[in-house]
Amino acid sequence: MASAALPAIDPQLVQALLTEQHRDLARLPISEFADGWDNRIFRLGAELTVRMPRRVEGAQLMANEQRWMPGLIAGISDGPDPLATSAPIRLGEPGCGYPWHWTVGPWLPGQNAAVAPIADPHDAARRLGAFLGAFHRPAPPEAPHNPYRGGPLASRDAFLELHLAVSVDQGRSLGDGVTPQAIVRRWAHLSGAAAWDGPPLWLHGDPHPLNLLVHEGRLSAIIDFGDLTLGDPATDLLVAWQLLPAAARATFREAASAGDYEVDDAMWTRGEGWALAHCVAVIAGAEDPDQPLAGVCRRTLAELVLR
* Closest C-alpha to 227, from 245, 247, 204: 204
Q: What local confidence, expressed as pLDDT, does residue 3 receive?
A: 46
Residue range of the domain that includes 155? 112-306
Residues in the chain: 307
Contacts of residue 70, defined as CB under 8 A and 6 or more positions apart, other chains included, come to 87, 88
Between CA 238 and CA 229 the distance in angstroms is 15
Q: What is the mean pLDDT of residues 39-54?
A: 96
What's the mean pLDDT in 288-306? 95
One-letter amino acid at 175 equals G
On whether both 68 and 190 belong to a single domain, the answer is no
Q: At what angle do helices 292-306 and 180-190 cross, to 10 degrees?
A: 70
Between CA 201 and CA 121 the distance in angstroms is 26
What percent of the chain clears pLDDT 70, i.e. is strictly above it?
97
CB 79 within 8 A of CB 135: no
Q: So what's the pLDDT on residue 78?
A: 66
DSSP state of 238: G
Q: In the listed set 88, 107, 126, which residue is the last one of a domain according to the structure?
A: 107
Q: What would the mean pLDDT of 208-215 be, rounded to a whole number? A: 96
Q: Kindly state whether residues 43 and 127 are assigned to the same domain.
A: no
User: Are 40 and 128 in a shared domain?
Assistant: no
* Mean pLDDT, residues 220-226 taken together: 93
What average pLDDT does this structure show over 75-94? 87
One-character DSSP codes across 290-304: TSHHHHHHHHHHHHH
Domain count, the chain: 2
Average pLDDT (77-84) is 80
What pLDDT does residue 260 have?
82
Q: Which residues pair with 92 in a beta bridge?
A: 102
121 and 235 inside one domain: yes
> Which residues, 6 or more positions from 142, have their beta carbon under 8 angstroms from its beta carbon?
none
Say if 175 falls within a structural domain: yes
Same-domain pairing of 218 and 242: yes
Which amino acid belongs to residue 201? L
Model confidence band, residue 287 (pLDDT cutoffs 50, 70, 90): confident
In percent, how much of the chain has pLDDT > 90?
Answer: 87
Residues 216 and 248 in one domain: yes
d(CA 31, CA 45): 9
- The CATH number linked to 94 is 3.30.200.20
What is the mean predicted confidence (pLDDT) over 126-142?
96
What's the mean per-residue pLDDT of the chain? 94
